[in-house]
Amino acid sequence: MKVYSAVIERCSQTGLFVGFVPGFPGAHSQGEALDEVNHNLHNVITMLLEDGEPVLESEFVGGSKRHCRLSHGQYSRPQAR
């Protein structure tokens, strides 16, 4: 069994979860809940694999969160007068 890593984001305009497998053409889906998007991604990947093992365009190597602080006054909006 092959394991593919998916990236899942929430669309700020629709509120839907949108998922895709980096580098795997056509491997993307969406859903109203995480369970739904994961189920949909599983179905899409299964369907795509019926055509054979894909040649991935890139390889997912991981993710990380970064916390950034702005220095006083940097990138702040001008204050109303």
Radius of gyration over alpha carbons of the chain, in Å?
Answer: 18
Confidence band (pLDDT; 50, 70, 90) for 2?
confident
- Note whether residue 34 is domain-resident: yes
For residue 15, pLDDT over 80 is answered with yes
Q: How many domains does the chain divide into?
A: 1
What pLDDT score does 70 carry? 75
Furthest-apart CA atoms within the chain: distance in Å: 64
H or E element at residue 65 = none
DSSP classification of residue 58: S
- Quote the mean pLDDT of the chain: 88
Measuring CA to CA, how many Å separate 61 from each of 1, 5, 23, 38, 72?
Answer: 19, 9, 11, 20, 35
- Note whether residue 19 is domain-resident: yes
- Note whether residue 61 is domain-resident: no
Confidence band (pLDDT; 50, 70, 90) for 16?
very high
61 versus 38: the higher-pLDDT residue is 38
Which whole number is the average pLDDT over 59-63? 86
